[in-house]
Amino acid sequence: MSPNWDGQSVTANGASFNYYCTPGAKDSGKPVLVLQHGFSDNGLCWAPVAQELAADYDILMPDARGHGRSARVARGERIDQAADLAALMRALGVQHAVVGGHSMGAQIAADLGARFPEMVTALALEDPPWFLPRPEASQGPRGTMEESPLGKWMISLKDKSLEQIMVECRQEHPSWPEAYVQAWCQGKKELDLSFLAADHPMGRWQERVSAIRCPVLLITADPGQGGIVTPEVAHMASEMNPNIRVVNFPGVGHHVRFAVHEAYMRALKAFLREVA
């Protein structure tokens, strides 16, 4: 039976945050697992993972600021997403946890591990946005997220219904389980489009990697299928920090757990058995 994923709210870092948790979380004495979603997703994009791990872990799945049902943002507002997550954990009485994240959420988790090391016992990072620097010749003023192809696509969804977005998602990703499809598409409708014009700097990923002192599982995908972390970047990261172990999923795109949930869970469970 699936848990009742009714959202709850907490005030942290000056804003209201929505979060989902497994039944009994915060009170059972189990190890805590915090899972942060990616850009334009919501906390329920982790629900299939949480459901499978609920017997052994207290699991928190927050909606990031500007996402899901959490606080809206203003254009140009400066957002510190790692500070948001740290404050949310403290507000819920979580002193330390294993923290996982996907894409933007993996970036937030890595930043949390680097800046708030006392709160993080281990990290599970699914295809974080770790890019190599652009060649000098191509470097110039960066446009806003609104001007990017991804931003323009998000804006184009404004006038589409949830049902339309879900139909298109199923056509493009016919193998994704329905629970992932529903949450992923709902996240697109819930995104505050002002987030595209907010200021949310995260610094260089290399600096974060060097500062992390806990065990890290880096889950990478296939760049040919849309994965972000290339073999070169994964090698660089593991050379910079011996705490990092890399698990690659060839033939799989950026949403690894959506595409190969069972294989993803085997890798994650093996890591959690060692660190949690």
pLDDT in tens, 191-210: 999 999 999 887 899 999 99
The rounded distance, in Å, linking the Cα atoms of 265 and 276 is: 15
Give the pLDDT confidence of 142-185 residue by residue, as tens digits: 567 889 999 999 999 999 999 999 999 999 999 999 999 999 99
pLDDT at 137 over 50: no
Q: Which residues contact 214 (CB under 8 A, 6 or more apart)?
A: 113, 117, 120, 121, 122, 123, 243, 275
Give the pLDDT confidence of 238-260 residue by residue, as tens digits: 999 999 999 999 999 999 999 99
**pLDDT, position 203:** 80
pLDDT at 217 over 90: yes
**pLDDT, position 195:** 97
DSSP 68: T
| Encoded amino acid at 170, one letter | R
pLDDT at 129 over 90: yes
pLDDT at 32 over 50: yes
The token duo for 166 is: 């879900």
Buried b (16+ CB within 10 A) or exposed e, 127-149: bbebeeeeeeeeeeeeeebbeee
Kind of pairing between the strands at 244-248 and 216-220 = parallel
Q: For residue 134, what are the CA distances in angstroms to 24, 202, 223? A: 47, 17, 16
Q: What is the CATH number of domain 8-131+199-275?
A: 3.40.50.1820
* pTM attached to this predicted model: 0.95
Contact indicator for 110, 130 with CB cutoff of 8 Å:
no
E-only strand ranges, the chain? 8-12, 15-21, 32-36, 58-62, 97-102, 120-126, 216-220, 244-248
